[in-house]
């Protein structure tokens, strides 16, 4: 039977280098659950996200993400962990020299998709889910900021992630577009039964779409509401 949770941290200390940023961290993220992560700049949000996707090592304590023990991550298995994760950032990080479809094709080929027919089918599926089927052959610079972020979300969905980590994904977008992106991510979380950890400063978006809230403050991770 599949575990109901996708990520856990137990009595964990998270650090940048050898400098502790968050301590005594206990966290459980459940499959299909949408969770906000808030906190001032420098409070530890990015440290938490980077620890979960293996960019920095777990300093102390216990943790697992998508079946991977964070204390036993190696250069060899970090790419395997990341295939189970989707990541969306404030900067869209699209390859500007190739079309939307080619951006997605690049990721699939890099993650060992070999069947050309399945690759095209998956590209079509994710673009339809983010309502950008019409934009497959357009270049990223021809799209609005909101459309580019939708492409980034489509890219994050390609490998059916169990956890979607979103680091300020609406930070460069206007309020209306921000709400559209959040509505889309909430819908896709339910559709895929994917957990979403959504770091944000945008309290207007949070008020419009209430969910569980975790806060980094005073060196601790605290749950504010559910």
Query: Any idea where the domains of the chain sit in the sequence?
Result: 1-84+162-226, 93-160
The reply to whether the predicted model has a pTM over 0.75 is: yes
Q: Which two tokens stand for residue 90?
A: 């404030």
Sorted by sequence, the CB contacts under 8 Å of residue 79 that are 6+ apart come out as none
pLDDT of residue 158: 96
Question: Which residue, among 171, 129, 172, has the nearest Cα to 153 in the 3D structure?
Answer: 129
Q: Are residues 225 and 35 in contact, defined by beta-carbon separation less than 8 angstroms?
A: no
DSSP secondary structure string, 64-111?
A: EETTEEGGG--TTTHHHHHTTEEEEESS----TTS-HHHHHHHHHHHT
Q: Which two tokens stand for residue 98?
A: 């190739």
Q: Are residues 93 and 172 in contact, defined by beta-carbon separation less than 8 angstroms?
A: no
Q: With bands split at pLDDT 50, 70 and 90, how would you rate the model's confidence at 202?
A: confident
pLDDT of residue 226: 53
Domain 1-84+162-226 in CATH 3.40.50.970: no
Beta strands in the chain (DSSP E): 5-16, 19-30, 34-38, 60-65, 68-69, 85-89, 163-167, 195-199, 212-217, 220-225
Q: What is the Cα 33 distance to its own chain's centre?
A: 13
1, pLDDT greater than 90:
no
Among positive and negative, which fits the CA dihedral 53, 204, 213, 193? negative
Distance CA 40, CA 219 (A): 11
187, pLDDT greater than 70:
yes
pLDDT of residue 52: 96
Question: 8-12, 30-34, 122-126, 203-207: lowest mean pLDDT where?
Answer: 203-207
2, pLDDT greater than 70:
no
């Amino acid at each position: 039977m599949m575990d109901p949770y996708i990520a856990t941290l137990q009595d964990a200390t998270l650090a940048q280098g050898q400098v502790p940023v968050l301590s005594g961290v206990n966290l459980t993220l459940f499959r299909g659950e949408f969770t906000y992560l808030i906190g001032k700049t420098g409070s530890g949000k990015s440290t938490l996200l980077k620890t979960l996707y293996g960019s920095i090592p777990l300093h102390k304590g216990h943790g697992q993400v998508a079946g991977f023990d964070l204390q036993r991550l190696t250069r060899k298995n970090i790419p395997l962990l990341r295939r189970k994760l989707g990541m969306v950032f404030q900067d869209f990080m699209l390859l500007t020299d190739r079309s939307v479809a080619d951006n997605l094709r690049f990721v699939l080929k890099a993650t060992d998709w070999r069947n050309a027919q399945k690759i095209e089918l998956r590209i079509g599926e994710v673009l339809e889910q983010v309502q950008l089927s019409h934009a497959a052959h357009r270049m990223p610079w021809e799209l609005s900021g909101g459309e580019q972020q939708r492409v980034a979300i489509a890219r994050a969905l390609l490998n059916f992630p169990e956890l979607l980590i979103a680091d300020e994904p609406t930070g460069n977008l206007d309020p209306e577009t921000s709400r559209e992106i959040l509505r889309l991510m909430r819908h896709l979380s339910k559709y895929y039964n994917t957990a979403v950890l959504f770091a944000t400063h945008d309290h207007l978006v949070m008020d419009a779409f209430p969910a569980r809230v975790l806060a980094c403050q005073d060196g601790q991770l605290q749950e504010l509401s559910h």
